[in-house]
Amino acid sequence: MIKVWLMIAFLHTPSLPSVKYEATIFKTEHECFEQLAVFMNMYEQKPQNYKENVVVDAHCLEFKSFPIPRFSPTNGQSQSFQS
């Protein structure tokens, strides 16, 4: 088993019947928190009327996983991908 990090982003508007979410996987905690900051900064840059109608939240969660070929040490490059 390996440790990976999931950034889970939540979005809700009054017109949605439930909360929408998206998860992205990262090799390191640092990469996850960097992308979390990018996501939250993008939201903060939105106009106030947008933020009054769209609520977002995001978290980085540690997760044990079976080996992922994209994260193999021989690959030499850290990558993220959408789940």
Computed over every residue of the chain, the mean pLDDT equals: 88
The predicted model scores a pTM of 0.78
Distance CA 16, CA 70 (A): 34
82 vs 17, which has greater pLDDT?
Answer: 17
CB atoms within 10 A of CB 24: 20
- The token duo for 51 is 């933020």
33: pLDDT strictly greater than 90:
yes
Instruction: Using the predicted structure, report yes or no on whether residue 77 has a pLDDT greater than 80.
Output: no
**What are the extents of the domains in the chain?**
2-64
Instruction: Provide the residue type at 69 as one letter.
Output: P
Q: What is the C-alpha radius of gyration for the chain, rounded to an integer number of angstroms?
A: 15
Q: Residue 16: pLDDT band by 50, 70, 90 thresholds?
A: confident
Question: What does the pLDDT read at residue 74?
Answer: 59
